[in-house]
Every structure is written in C-alpha cells, then in structure tokens.
Structure 1
Amino acid sequence: MRARRQWRAARRRGWGRPGLLTLAGFAAFGGLQRALSTRNARIFFGGSLTAWTGLWMHRIAVTWLAWEMTGSAFWVGVVAFSDLAPAAFISPIAGAVADRVDRVKLTTISQAVIALEAASVATLVATGQITIGLLIALELISGTAASFLQPARQTLLPGIVPKGELPAAVACNSLVFNLARFIGPGLAGPIIAVFGVAPAVACNSLAYCLALLSMVLMRVEPEHRRGHPSTGSLLGEVKDGFRYIANHPGLGPLMMYAAMIAVLLRCVQELLPPFVERIFGRGADSLAMLTACFGVGALIGGMWLMARGRLEGATKVAIFSGLTQAIAVGGFVATGWFPFGLLCAAGIGFSASLHGTAVQTLAQTAAQPDMRGRVLALWGLITRACPALGALMLGTAGEAFGLRLPVAVAVLLALCVFAWGLTRMRRIEASLEAPPA
C-alpha cells in the first residue's frame, strides 16, 4: 500500500509523464528527494557518479587489455585480483585510519593516487610500453588507494544528509554506483573498439580529477570529518573493530554471509572477457553490452529498494538476494545463447544490487558512530577482496576445467550458504532491524 501511495504521489509530481524519467523523478522513491536536498549531497553524489563512471570504463579496459595481451583467463583473474586484493590487507587498517583522521583529506589523497595510476596506465598503453607485470603492479597501487578511499568517503554520508534520511542516502549511493555501472561500459565499449584501450583508461584519470574538485567544493562540519581522537595504537583499534563486529549478534553473521556469497558468485563479473569470447564467441562491444546489462539490472534493484523506503525487511532482502543471484549465475554459464546471457546478467546485477544495498544499509544504521569507519572498511574488504579471491580461484580452475564446471560448483556451494543464512535470518533481523531504545 505504501509503495502504491508513493507511486500515485510521484505521478502527481509528473514522474509518469513521457520524457520526465530523470534522476529527479527517481528521487520521489523512498525519500531519495530528501537525501538530495542539501548542497553537500548533490556535490557528493555528482562526484561519485563521475568517478564511478570512470572506474567502470577503467575496469572494462584493463580486463580487455589483459585478455588481449595473454589470451589467458588466469591472467585476467590475476589483474582483477591485483585491483581488488589489497583490500584484504589494507581495509582493516584503512577503517581504523578513517575513524581517527580527517576523512575529507584522506578521500582527496586517495582519489589523487587513483587518478595518477590511471594516467600512468594510459600513457604506457599509448606508448606501447605496457606489460602484464607493469599492469599488475599499477593495479595493486590503485587497489591500495581504493581501500583507503572506500571507508573514508562512505563515512561522510551521515554528515551530508539528515540523520533520518541515512537509509535513503545509502540507497542513493547504490543507485549512483549502478547508474555509473550502466554508463561506464556503454562508453568504454565503443571507445575501445574504435580508439583502443588508452583513451578509455585516460577517461578514468579525468573522472577522478573532477571528483577531487567535488571534495574541494563540499563543506563538511568538523564533527563529521573525524570519527574520534586517537585512543591508542592503530593496531589496537583494528582489533577492536574486528572484535566489535564478531561479537555483534547481527553484523557478524550478516558479514559472514555476504563474504561467502561474494567469493562464490561475484567473481563471475570480474572475469567477463573469457566468458564473452569462450562461451559466447564475441568481442569488446558485446563485453560492454553484457556489463551494461549488469548495470541495468542493478539499477532496477536499487529503484525497487527506494520504492520500499524502509529498513524493515532489509535482512530478508539481503539473504534471499543470495539465492536469486545463484540462480541467475547458474543460468548465465549454462547457455551459449547471447540474448539469454544478457537477461541472466541483468538478473545477476539486480540480485547483487539488492544484496549490497541491503547489507550496507543495515551496517550503516546499526554501527556505533565511533565504529562506523571500521564496519564499512570490513564491508569494503568483502566487496573488493572476496570477489578478487573468487576471480583468482575461478581463473585458475578455468584454465584446467573450462569455465562452466567451476562456476556450477560455486553455484551449488552458494545454495548451501543460502541455507545457512536462512537459519540465522531471524536472529540477524531482531538485532539489526529493532527500533532504537
């Protein structure tokens, strides 16, 4: 009923009229319009959209470059691992750092490093000096900077929107990420096909330079720029963060469930070039189409969560989206018919968006303010390191057994993980969705 009332109200504001399907129209869902009502929020999400569009262009370009240079699913997996794996070692430290330093400055420095890395890759490709070893080394640098960027930037959210609109801000964050996931590949595919890899990577450098400008324009109050004064050793604060999450009756099992799903299923999205060529027999344009379908599905998932506009039921969304993602991944590798593969890709994106947004909303809402950086750093570790580990495992197994069999095994294991999550859903729900005292 609530969603129906929101729909009718949106229609009265003109959302349903042809030609008005814009971001402002989307904002009618779930309080998103209020989340975008402040100047800081508009600058923040504008910078995010720019940076993430460049990021997706970069990802498509470097995975295709690795495939062109080596023709090996293993090396494509290593390149994906190099970008994402530093989170496994850096994220816990980065979260503690984000809780004790100026988050705006940490965000600015991290974005500058990523911009320089992308410029270096583009230059080496354009001059013919790139090698697989150099590419891996540079992606490690970028992945390290991104591990600091994720908790620093995401912990700014409570400082740029009213407290009651934090779930809407998290949903907006997911919408922007997935909108970029749609735009980025759509731009990268034609650019790579016509001009090559270097211009697509250079666009990422430009995008992060523009994101740097957005941080200069933002005005964040001092209490939101820093989590807390230094209370002890950095290592001690890292341990405190892990202890807090592990002992939390809701966050601990929810993060474990998310980590297992990420290892088993998210890796497929990191290894698209081998799937495109070996299973579907297509090239760079089809890779862009496939990635764009992931983005379209994710966009629809984010819109659905905005239409819900509430925290209640988010645990069920997080758990059951693991099941739907497993089914979609199974369908994706079972077919050689490209149109059905596109449909399954949209299903994967839809499910992954529901899962990621629901988990992040629950984590942002439940975490104590002085622990928020460390909680979000663990979430960053899950979203980056776990798919990287899965991509490395899948790429290695794919060289020995082909791509279909290892993914089928991963899907079966993911179904077992879903069954485990189902047994803990009520406990997580009671802990993370209970109204504050």
Structure 2
Amino acid sequence: MVAWTGLWMQRIAVSWLAWELTGSAFWVGMVAFCDLAPAVLVSPLAGAMADRVDRVQLAMWTQIAIALQAAAVAGITYSGHMTIGILLVLEVCGGTAASFAQPARQTLMPGIVARADLPAAVAANSLCFAVARFVGPAIAGPLIAIWGVVPAIAANAVGYLFAFATIWLLRVDPKERRGHPVSTSLGREVLAGISYAARHKGLGPLLLYAALGAVLLRGMQEILPPFVERLFGRGAESLAILTACFGIGALAAGLWVASRGRLEGASRLAVFAALAQAIATVGFIATGYFPLGMLCAALIGGAASVHGISVQTLIQSAADPGYRGRMLSLWGLITRACPALGALALGALGEVFGLRWPTLVAVLLFLGVFAWGVARLRRMQQELEGTPAGPAAG
C-alpha cells in the first residue's frame, strides 16, 4: 500500500512534469511509453527469472531499484536540470525495474494462501492497488499545486524503500519461493514460456484478448493531462481528481469481485468487463462536463478492475506452477507495454486530429476484438474453469 501510493503520486507528477516541460500530448504519451514499453523486452526475461531464482530476493532488489529511480527524478528536477530527454531515459530505467518486480511479487501469492483462496487473494491484491490509485492522486494533486512535482516524486522513493525493508517479513512456502531447478538457458526458458502460452487453448486467447483491449482502450488513461486541459479546461487538481475516480471505481468493483470469491464465471467477466470499459470510454470523451467525466472515469476504473482481477485469477489458477512466473510476466507485459503503445499512438494522432476522434476509432476497433472474444468464450471457460461443453455459463 505504501509503495503503490508513492507509485501513483509519481505517475501523476511525472505526467504533469512532461506536460509542463513540453505542452505536447505527444511527449506526454512518449513519457508513458518509456515507462511502460521496456516490458516488451524485459517481461519475458523477468518471468523466466522469477521461475528460477529466489522470488523474495528478486522482489527486494527490484524495489530498491525503483526507489533509486524515483530519487533521481526528484533530485534532477529539484536542481532545475530536468529535460524531456533525461526524463525519458529515467522512465525507461524505472519501467525496466518494474517489469522485473511484477512477476517476482505476484508469483509469491500461491505460497502465501491456499489454492481455494487465490481468487480472493488476487482481488485483495488488486484492491490494494485501487486504494493506492485513489489515495496517491488525492495526495499528489494538492502537493503539485502548492509545492510542485518534486515532493510527490520523492514520496515514491520513500514508499519503495519501505517496501524493500519489509518484504522479507513475508512467510512464503519454501516450495513456492522458487519455480523450478535451473535445467536450461534463460533464453530457452523464455521461448518455452511463450510456446506454452500459445499452445494453451484457454490462456492463449485470454492473453491475446487482454493485449488487444489494453492497446485500444488503456492509452487514454496514460496521457490524461491533455484530456484534462483540452476537454475540460482544468489543471493539476482535476487531473488528480480524475485519477482518483479511476481508483474509486476500481476499489468498488474489486470489493465486489473479492466478495464473489470463486473461479466460475471469471472468463465471462474478463470478456464483458472490457466491453463495459469501452462504453464508459465513449462517455468520457463525449463530454466536456467535468462531473460526467468523473462518473465515466469511475466506470472505466471499475470495468478495468473486474477485467484485470479476472484475468489474473485465471492465470494463477490455470497455469502450470513451473510456468506461473512466465505467464504472469506476459500479463505484466500486457498491462505495461500495450497501454504504452496505445498512449504513444493516441498522443501522436491527438496532435493532428484532436483527442476525441482517435479515441473513438480505437473503441470501434475494439468492438471487433470483443466479437472475437465472445466467439471463443466457451472454449476459454472449458480450459480455464473446467466448464463442461455446452452453452456458455452465465
């Protein structure tokens, strides 16, 4: 909670810093891209590493790396020497560290709770992220408005130092602390993980559906400052409010999924929650009325939370334990690299066509992805939930 609160404070601050430095939606999108895109190259390696080394140790050292990156961004900005080029390089460094941290941390979950509790545990994990997504911006907005971006970024360094100092307190089943004995090269294990996902008749379509949805629907959330200023004519405080609305929606939806606490129906939730996110996105870009924008932001956050929790639960449950780290690293790649690609495209097109039309086109393209996902829903249910052949479960 402490680390993720700091993370969201830095995300808001860095996004606003890029907007202040350039006044360009393209460069705001490029900053988001540099933070998230390293996952394309790093996540498969990170997943293979998480399947062959001590996962607690890996999580610890990646968290200290994230703390050092935040301290560097805050220090250079405070000194007055920050440029958009330096910021891009530092965001690549932070994104690389985060890509290693994600599978290392998430693969520990089955070593902490029983298999029957995994759906609720995944939901609880996402709830922590949703609370931080609400609290972080709520703190960052006033900080940025009064004292600038430096305190908000420095808070992330403090948060991750705290995480580094406390993660060793976890009591993890020794059998789950490592994935498997090292028997081949890291490169071969990466390829084996990708092959496993491609062959799996449930995980393969699920991950592809999530990836396409993230490219087409998540870019808008990664470059919020231009939307805040151009659509609503507001500043940093409203950016924090909108980001908090995403978090509130995610928290409410996460509480519902956690109370549901079962695997049955998760595939259907994963597919249809993305459609709900697309509809709410249309509502967000169609209005210049800020309260309606806040409502749509909450709906987007809620739908994205249901989708993400459902996908993670299915991965944790269906993946072979020896491949779990690599499957979760592919999910990390989807949640980081795919929104980065969407943000870069949306930022570039936004400079030429404005922000509304490119976002609307992306939603229309997603409707085709949704139709493809619905056509494969029955098979995904059979493979991921053990649902017997026949009409899709409700």
TM-score by length of 1: 0.88
Matched, 1:419 2:350: no
Aligned equivalents of 2:272 and 2:119: distance in 1? Answer: 20
How far off is 1:131 after superposition? 0.6
Aligned equivalents of 2:105 and 2:114: distance in 1? Answer: 17
Aligned equivalents of 1:364 and 1:50: distance in 2? Answer: 25
Matched residue, 1:270: 222
Matched, 1:117 2:47: no
Among candidates 129, 133, 155, match of residue 177 of structure 1: 129
How far off is 1:216 after superposition? 2.4
How far off is 1:163 after superposition? 2.5
How far off is 1:119 after superposition? 0.4
Matched residue, 2:391: none
Among candidates 322, 335, 356, match of residue 370 of structure 1: 322
Matched, 1:256 2:247: no
How far off is 1:307 after superposition? 2.2
Matched residue, 2:111: 159
Aligned residue identity for 2:61 = I
Matched, 1:56 2:8: yes
Aligned equivalents of 1:391 and 1:163: distance in 2? Answer: 36
Is the CA contact (8 Å cut-off) linking 2:111 and 2:174 kept in structure 1?
no
Among candidates 244, 250, 263, match of residue 311 of structure 1: 263
Aligned residue identity for 2:49 = V
Aligned equivalents of 1:215 and 1:396: distance in 2? Answer: 40
Matched, 1:129 2:81: yes
Matched residue, 1:105: 57
Matched residue, 1:339: 291
Aligned residue identity for 1:60 = I
How far off is 1:214 after superposition? 1.5
1:27-426 map, 5 Å: 49-426=1-378
Classify the secondary structure of the residue corresponding to 1:228. Answer: coil
Check 1:103–1:435 CA distance in 2 against 1; reply closer, same or farther (3 A cut): farther
Q: How many residues align?
A: 388
Aligned residue identity for 1:238 = V
Aligned residue identity for 2:310 = A
Aligned equivalents of 1:356 and 1:266: distance in 2? Answer: 12
Aligned equivalents of 1:97 and 1:435: distance in 2? Answer: 33
Aligned equivalents of 1:164 and 1:291: distance in 2? Answer: 33
How far off is 1:407 after superposition? 0.2
How far off is 1:435 after superposition? 7.3
- Worse-matched range after superposition: 159-168 or 91-100: 159-168
How far off is 1:219 after superposition? 3.1
How far off is 1:261 after superposition? 0.4
Aligned equivalents of 2:203 and 2:67: distance in 1? Answer: 34
Classify the secondary structure of the residue corresponding to 1:153. Answer: helix
Is the CA contact (8 Å cut-off) linking 2:120 and 2:259 kept in structure 1?
no
Matched residue, 1:3: none
Aligned residue identity for 2:6 = G
How far off is 1:222 after superposition? 2.7
How far off is 1:224 after superposition? 1.8
Aligned equivalents of 1:109 and 1:134: distance in 2? Answer: 23
Aligned equivalents of 2:46 and 2:299: distance in 1? Answer: 33
How far off is 1:220 after superposition? 2.5
How far off is 1:412 after superposition? 0.3
Matched residue, 2:392: none
Structure 1 residue ranges, 4+ long, deviating more than 3 angstroms after superposition:
none
Matched residue, 1:433: 385
Aligned equivalents of 1:374 and 1:435: distance in 2? Answer: 25
The answer for unaligned runs of 5 or more in structure 2 is: 389-394
TM-score by length of 2: 0.97
How far off is 1:281 after superposition? 0.2
Cα RMSD after superposing both structures: 1.0
Aligned equivalents of 1:231 and 1:97: distance in 2? Answer: 13
Aligned residue identity for 1:223 = K
Matched residue, 1:43: none
Is the CA contact (8 Å cut-off) linking 2:9 and 2:137 kept in structure 1?
yes
Aligned residue identity for 1:130 = M
The answer for unaligned runs of 5 or more in structure 1 is: 1-48
How far off is 1:418 after superposition? 0.7
Classify the secondary structure of the residue corresponding to 1:312. Answer: coil
> Over residues 91-110 of structure 1, what are the superposed CA-to-partner deviations in whole Å (9 max), with x where a residue is unaligned?
00110011001111111110
Identical counterparts, % of pairs: 64
Classify the secondary structure of the residue corresponding to 2:82. Answer: coil
Aligned equivalents of 2:120 and 2:175: distance in 1? Answer: 21
